[in-house]
C-alpha cells in the first residue's frame, strides 16, 4: 500500500486515476479546487476509508505526506484554459513548483502530466520525445503549451539540482466517460451535438488528424510510468494511441454510432490548431511494456453510453 497524492484528482483523467489506484489497494489523497471539475466525479469515493479529499489550489503550497504525487492539476481543454490564461499559466508553473517543493520535503516521487501540446503544430510526424516542438509563444494557446513546457523544465531542473525523482508523461488526446460536458473538445462536442441531432461543427474541411486514447489505457500508462525504475525513467514518455483519424471521419463515426440525424457543418479553424497529432510510443513500449488496447470504436461506444445517460439526467 502506497500513500498517493493526486492533484487535479477530481478532473476527467484524475477521477479515473483515483479509482484505479484505490482498486489497487493504495491510500489516495485527491486535491482539487473544482475550477474545471466537479465534486460529483468523485462523490462515491467518499465512502472509501482509503480516500480523502483536500480542497486546494496548487498555486498555493501544499502540506501533506505522500510517497508518490501525480500532478494533474491544470485546465486541459482550450475553452477552459483560454478562459483565464494567466491562471492557467500560474497553475502549470507555480503549481508544479509547489508540488516539487512538497516532494523535496517528503522524498516523494513526482509524475508530471504534461501534454502533446508541447510539440505545438508539429513539423515532424509522428512525434517522438526527442522533438523540441513548434510552438507559438504569444498565441492564445501559449498559456497552456508554454506552461506545460515550463513545468517540464522545472521537473528536470529539480532532478538535476536536487536529485528529485521525476516522471514526465506527455499525454495525447484522451477521451472516455466522465469527460466534462462543456469542455469544448471534439469527442465530447461531437457526441453532444449528435445526441441532440444538431449539426456537428468541424474546423475547416475536417482533414486535420488526431490520435485518440481511451482513458483506461492512459491511466494504466501513467501508473506504469510512475512505478518504473532505471536510468532513463526520468525522461519524457509519450502516452497515447497511434491510430490516427481525421476529424471529419471521427464525426461520421459518432453519427453512425449514435444513430443521429446530424449533418456536418464547417466552421473556421481555431488559431494555432495543429494539423496533425500522432504519438511515437516506441519509448513507452520499450520502457514500460505499455501500449493501448481499447479500439476507437469500443471507446466511443462506452463514452456515448455515458453521455447518453447524463443527457437523460440533464433533460429530466
As its CATH architecture, domain 186-207+244-272+299-315 has Alpha-Beta Complex (3.90)
What does DSSP say about strands 200-203 and 27-32: parallel, antiparallel, or unpaired? Answer: unpaired
Let me know how long the chain is.
Answer: 316
DSSP states along 13-44: HHHHHHHHHHHTT-EEEEEE--SS--GGGGGG
Q: Which of 144, 158, 175, 214 is catalytic?
A: 144
Distance CA 222, CA 224 (A): 5
- Looking at residue 79, its pLDDT comes to 87
Cell of 179: 469527460
Distance CA 300, CA 240 (A): 16
Sheet holding 3-7, edge to edge: 51-55, 27-32, 3-7, 68-71, 109-115, 166-171, 237-239
DSSP states along 136-200: -TTSTTHHHHHHHHHHHHHHHHHHHHH---EEEEEE--EE-TT--TT---HHHHHHHHHHTTPPE
- From first to last of the 316 residues of the chain, give the pLDDT tens digit: 899 999 999 999 999 999 999 999 999 999 999 998 989 999 999 999 999 999 999 999 999 999 999 999 998 888 888 999 999 999 999 999 999 999 999 999 999 999 999 999 999 999 999 999 999 999 999 999 999 999 999 999 999 999 999 999 999 999 999 999 988 899 999 999 999 999 999 999 999 999 999 999 999 999 999 999 998 999 999 999 999 999 999 999 999 999 999 999 999 988 888 889 999 999 999 999 999 999 999 999 999 999 999 999 888 7
144 catalytic? Reply is yes
What does DSSP say about strands 209-211 and 244-246: parallel, antiparallel, or unpaired? Answer: antiparallel
Q: Are 150 and 115 in contact (CB under 8 A)?
A: no
Distance CA 239, CA 296 (A): 16
What are the boundaries of each domain within the chain? 3-176+213-242+276-293, 186-207+244-272+299-315
What are residue 170's DSSP bridge partners?
114, 238
Q: Which CATH superfamily is domain 3-176+213-242+276-293 in?
A: NAD(P)-binding Rossmann-like Domain (3.40.50.720)
Amino acid at each position: 500500500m502506497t500513500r498517493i497524492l493526486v492533484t487535479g484528482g477530481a478532473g476527467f483523467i484524475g477521477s479515473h486515476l483515483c479509482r484505479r489506484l484505490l482498486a489497487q489497494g493504495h491510500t489516495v489523497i485527491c486535491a482539487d479546487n473544482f475550477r474545471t471539475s466537479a465534486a460529483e466525479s468523485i462523490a462515491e469515493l467518499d465512502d472509501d476509508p482509503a480516500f480523502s479529499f483536500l480542497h486546494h489550489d496548487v498555486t498555493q503550497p501544499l502540506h501533506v505526506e505522500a510517497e508518490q504525487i501525480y500532478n494533474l492539476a491544470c485546465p486541459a481543454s482550450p475553452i477552459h484554459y483560454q478562459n483565464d490564461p494567466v491562471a492557467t499559466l500560474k497553475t502549470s508553473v507555480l503549481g508544479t513548483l509547489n508540488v516539487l517543493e512538497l516532494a523535496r520535503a517528503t522524498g516523494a516521487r513526482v509524475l508530471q502530466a504534461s501534454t502533446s501540446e508541447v510539440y505545438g503544430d508539429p513539423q515532424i510526424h509522428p512525434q517522438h520525445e526527442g522533438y523540441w516542438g513548434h510552438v507559438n509563444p504569444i498565441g492564445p494557446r501559449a498559456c497552456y503549451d508554454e506552461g506545460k513546457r515550463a513545468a517540464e523544465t522545472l521537473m528536470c531542473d529539480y532532478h538535476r539540482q536536487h536529485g528529485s525523482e521525476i516522471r514526465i508523461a506527455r499525454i495525447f488526446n484522451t477521451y472516455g466517460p466522465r469527460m466534462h460536458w462543456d469542455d469544448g473538445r471534439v469527442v465530447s462536442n461531437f457526441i453532444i451535438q449528435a445526441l441532440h441531432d444538431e449539426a456537428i461543427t468541424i474546423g475547416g474541411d475536417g482533414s486535420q488528424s488526431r490520435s485518440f486514447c481511451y482513458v483506461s489505457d492512459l491511466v494504466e500508462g501513467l501508473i506504469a510510468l510512475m512505478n518504473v525504475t532505471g536510468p532513463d525513467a526520468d525522461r519524457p514518455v509519450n502516452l497515447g494511441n497511434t491510430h490516427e483519424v481525421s476529424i471529419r471521419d471521427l464525426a461520421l463515426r459518432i453519427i453512425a454510432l449514435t444513430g443521429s440525424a446530424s449533418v456536418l457543418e464547417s466552421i473556421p479553424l481555431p488559431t494555432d490548431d495543429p494539423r496533425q497529432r500522432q504519438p511515437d510510443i516506441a519509448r513507452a513500449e520499450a520502457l514500460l511494456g505499455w501500449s493501448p488496447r481499447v479500439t476507437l470504436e469500443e471507446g466511443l461506444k462506452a463514452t456515448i453510453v455515458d453521455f447518453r445517460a447524463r443527457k437523460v439526467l440533464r433533460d429530466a
